[in-house]
Amino acid sequence: MSDAIDANLELLDRQIVDHDGAMVAKVDDVELEERDDGRLHVTALLTGPGALGPRLGGAFGNMVASTWARLAGRTEPGRVSWSSVASVGIVVTLAVDRTTVAVDGFEVWMRDRIIAAIPGSKVLPK
Amino acid sequence: MKVGTSGLVALLVLLSGCVPSNPDTDTFDDKSLRTAGAALSQTRTVSGLLQTSYDGRMLRPTALAQLRYSEDSLDTATGAFTELNPPSARDAQYTRLSTLLGEAGDLVAEARIAVERSEEARYPRLVDRLDALASKLERLEGRLR
Amino acid sequence: MTVRHRLNDLLGMQVRYADGTDGDRVIDVRLAPGPRVPGPMAELVVDGMVVGKMRPGTLFGYDRHPTQGPWLLRQVIGFLHRHTGYLEWADVERIDWDARVVHVRRTSLRKLPPAR
Amino acid sequence: MKKLFAVALGILTAIGGFVDIGDLVTNATVGSRFGLSLAWVVVLGVVGIAVFAEMSGRVVAVSGRPTFDIVRERLGPRVGLVNLFGSMAVTLLTYTAEIGGIALALELGTSVWSYFWIPFTAAAVWVVLWRAKFNLLENAFGLLGLALLVFGVALWQLGPDWGQLWHTASTAAKPSPEPWPTYWYYAVALFGAAMTPYEVFFFSSGGIEEKWSPASIPTMRSNVLIGFPLGGTLSISIAACAAVVLLPAGIEVESLGQVALPVAVALGQLGLAVAILGFFAATFGAACATGLSVGYSIAQYLGWTWGKSVRPRDAARFHAVVLLSTLLAALVLLTTIDPILVTEFSVVFSAIALPLTYLPILIVANDPSYMGRHKNGALANTLGSIYLVIVLAASLAAIPLMIWTKVGTT
């Protein structure tokens, strides 16, 4: 039983980092797939407001999910397939680079639209 | 949402400590006490500013900046008090305090102008008048406490 | 057609025992390593459920790390979670995802084994 | 030798960075109305923030998880979000008060109206947050903040009756005219000023910025256990100066100029200039800390990339939040609301919001899966539990006291 994981306590809401430690997203929910062996298999980690909204629950949670869906133009949340997960500990570490999983659309949008336009955005703080 | 906003309004009214314009004697005495205290505080502040300026211990920009706050604070306290309709039993107290507040306002304005023009020669005389006024306010405060 | 669910749907489901009684809810889902699959980690499979009253402090972990300090909190949370127990996957007869009810073969919970 | 320098630098910045506009105003106000009869609350608050910061610093050094990661992991997304809204409201309020404080300090130095300065101070703070590296920012303002030591020198120069000062402090002898509810209201305000939540957000996120590891625990502890208490003595010296000069004169502090008056009386123009520099550095440093804390906390809750060690374009959402908060703070100040009033509210709401982040840190500091052998010992848990009760009590008492005393004005 040593490497059993309690999902709510030790997987949900954990920070996901990519293989060189860059922050990617949070584990906002976990995808379970029914297999012919009758068991539920973890097939992916779900990220973004699309996954977090339902967990917040109530009118507010629905609003979060629906607003995001309208802005992002889709209802399916960000999906990190289980095959790219390297380890689960205090953080969830991926075996791949964060661009591979491409779950941070809002980050890219904010970077290209606003932050990149401000002088000095490409310079490392001194 | 309706309950929320009315609750918020009630909280703000409570917090602002707003006083009815026709207060009873207790509320009026309490308001007089706090107004006298506020006036005393600003009068002594301005006196301190002038004294330290005269002794070359104060920076002129700091004195000017603080004088502005003291004058504003005094005007606000005075306005909030004089607009009250005192209970008949407190007419003497109302007149007395209103007069002192008026004198304080004039003196602080005089001090501001003097500092603005750097007329240090006038400071000692102003300090004496401010201190005399402060003692009167202090005595009035003592009686109200 | 592969049927997929979200863990959030399972968490908080009512547990209905064989004798029809209910009132307990799914607090956590224990995952255990399953079959080898492409990728560094073995696939995780639902192996059991932590079940009890939905009370504050479920995420504090005191029921699964019983020696965790400080003493004051351990007493308070321990008292709130005294009913918490465990169900193995084999104890689950079926999960009704629409009615959000887990039908169980047993009439009571097992004792909760600590996770580590 | 380099290690010694790092330790010394850490302690000095902890002292200089400890006092902010909330400490300045609240301690001076309390000194001018209650003398040193509330000094025990500052001691209580300083020990409290030292315990709280040491725990969160250890959690960061060992597990690499700063405050709001833990808040979400231990309270779940829903309660975590309520916590985030509460803590952000307080931190934004404090951020606004700090930027207002910088403008007030500049006004004292130039006599130019403070509202004129606000756009420039807000812009200056943002540029520093956009370009400066984390430890440059912390060290520069931390060291400059040491200028506030001038209050200790002023107190010494005033040659007060030390016996009488010690008597009022040790017996918490409340001056007769002040009613008890107001006394307890200002006790909560002082406690909130000493134990502001953003200090822990900034301190723990700073641990990530400076890449702490378990090896950095001793240095972190020296900063907290030596720097914070010395920072606390600065607060007490500000209150003592007010008690010696302002209280007898019946001057009740309502503006920053009055806070500086005792220094002018004691040390003259040079002392006053150093005090104003200290106001500027303390509020600017605190503005940077609170501004970053808003970004840190939201980014940590949502899992975004954050921090000063990456290029702004690689932490776009984090910097967008910092920019938005700065604009918001400047707009609020430009409504000519008095920054001192904003400060008074910020310290009381700090006391209210404190348990929200204190509890998760206390829990995780005990969690073996996060901390391993570095988890809380008996001392940390005893103090931690005592302060959990104190923090909850202060939080519950804050609003009733605020209403009963009409924000301390009765």
Domains of chain C with CATH codes: 7-55+84-104 (2.30.30.240)
Q: Which one of D292, D314, D370 would you mutate to disrupt binding with A, by most A Cβ within 10 Å of its Cβ?
A: D314
Interface of D with A (CB under 8 A): 63-65, 69, 72-73, 76-78, 80-81, 130-134, 136, 302-306, 308-314, 316-317, 319-320, 369-370
Q: Is C69 in contact with D376 (Cβ distance < 8 A)? A: yes
Task: Give me the pLDDT at residue D353, please.
Answer: 87
The residue with tokens 């996060």 is D370
Task: Give me the pLDDT at residue B1, please.
Answer: 41
Report pLDDT digits (tens) over A55-102.
Answer: 998 899 999 889 988 888 888 888 999 989 999 988 999 998 888 777
The band of B78, judged by pLDDT with boundaries at 50, 70 and 90, is very high
Q: Is A104 in contact with D304 (Cβ distance < 8 A)? A: yes
Task: Give me the pLDDT at residue D154, please.
Answer: 95
Q: Is the pLDDT of residue B4 over 70?
A: no
d(CA D79, CA D84): 9
Domains of chain B, first to last: 22-144 (1.20.120)
Cα–chain-centroid distance for residue C101?
13
Is residue A41 helix, strand or coil?
strand
Q: Is D265 in contact with B48 (Cβ distance < 8 A)? A: yes
Pairing of the two strands C44-52 and C24-33: antiparallel
Report pLDDT digits (tens) over D353-386.
Answer: 888 889 889 988 988 888 888 988 889 999 999 9
What pTM did the predictor assign?
Answer: 0.90
Task: Give me the pLDDT at residue D47, please.
Answer: 93
CB D18 within 8 A of CB D232: yes
Among A9, A32, A46, select the one facing C61 at the smallest CB separation.
A9
Q: Is the pLDDT of residue A21 over 90?
A: no
Tell me if chain D has a CB within 8 Å of the CB of C73: yes
Shortest distance between the Cα of C59 and any Cα of chain A, in A, equals 6
d(CA B139, CA B145): 10
The band of B10, judged by pLDDT with boundaries at 50, 70 and 90, is low
Shortest distance between the Cα of C72 and any Cα of chain D, in A, equals 7
Closest chain D residue to A21, measured at CA? D305
The band of B13, judged by pLDDT with boundaries at 50, 70 and 90, is low
Q: How many helices (H) does chain B have, and how many strands (E)? A: 5, 0
Q: How many helices (H) does chain D have, and how many strands (E)? A: 18, 0
d(CA C63, CA C81): 7
Residue type, D258: Q
Which has the closest alpha carbon to A31: B14, C9, D353, B24?
C9
Domains of chain D, first to last: 2-404 (1.20.1740.10)
Does chain B reach chain C with at least 3 CB pairs under 8 Å? no
Q: Is the pLDDT of residue B12 over 80?
A: no
Phi, psi of C95 (to 5 degrees): -115, 120
Domains of chain A, first to last: 7-117 (2.30.30.240)
d(CA C81, CA C55): 7
The band of B16, judged by pLDDT with boundaries at 50, 70 and 90, is low
What does the DSSP assignment read for C85-107? Answer: EEEEGGGEEEEETTTTEEEESSS
Q: Is A7 in contact with C28 (Cβ distance < 8 A)? A: yes
Report pLDDT digits (tens) over D1-18.
Answer: 777 777 777 788 788 778
Report for C34-38, D208-212, D260-264: range of highest mean pLDDT:
D260-264
The residue with tokens 């995802």 is C97
Task: Give me the pLDDT at residue D248, please.
Answer: 92
Among D111, D249, D268, select the one facing B48 at the smallest CB separation.
D249
Buried b (16+ CB within 10 A) or exposed e, B111-135: bbebbeeeeeebbeebbebbeebbe
Report the pLDDT averaged over residues D93-99.
93
Report the pLDDT averaged over residues D313-334.
91
d(CA D83, CA C61): 19
Report pLDDT digits (tens) over D144-188.
Answer: 888 999 999 999 999 888 988 888 888 887 887 788 889 999 999
ipTM: 0.85
The band of B8, judged by pLDDT with boundaries at 50, 70 and 90, is low
Among C68, C70, C116, select the one facing D385 at the smallest CB separation.
C70
The band of A121, judged by pLDDT with boundaries at 50, 70 and 90, is confident
Share of chain D above pLDDT 90, in %: 49
The residue with tokens 């004697």 is B25
Report pLDDT digits (tens) over D226-242.
Answer: 888 988 999 999 999 99
| Other CB atoms within 10 A of residue C16 CB | 18
Residue D403: list chain B partners with CB under 8 A. Answer: 11, 14-15
d(CA B15, CA B22): 19
Among A11, A41, A86, select the one facing C45 at the smallest CB separation.
A41
Report pLDDT digits (tens) over D334-352.
Answer: 998 888 888 888 888 888 8
Which carries the bigger pLDDT value, residue D406 or residue D194?
Answer: D194
Shortest distance between the Cα of C107 and any Cα of chain D, in A, equals 30
pLDDT in tens for each of the 116 residues of chain C? 789 999 999 999 999 999 999 889 999 999 999 888 777 888 899 999 999 988 877 777 776 677 776 888 888 888 888 888 999 999 999 999 999 999 999 998 998 887 55
Among D72, D80, D131, select the one facing A126 at the smallest CB separation.
D131
pLDDT mean across residues, chain D: 89
Q: Is the pLDDT of residue B18 over 90?
A: no
Residue type, A7: A
Among D362, D368, D385, select the one facing C65 at the smallest CB separation.
D368
Q: Is the pLDDT of residue B20 over 80?
A: no
Q: Is D381 in contact with C69 (Cβ distance < 8 A)? A: yes
What does the DSSP assignment read for D159-211? Answer: ---HHHHHHHHHHT---TTS-HHHHHHHHHHHHHHHT-HHHHHHHHHHHHHTT
d(CA C76, CA B34): 47
Task: Give me the pLDDT at residue B17, please.
Answer: 55
The band of B2, judged by pLDDT with boundaries at 50, 70 and 90, is very low
Residue A51: list chain C partners with CB under 8 A. Answer: 6
CB C2 within 8 A of CB A34: yes
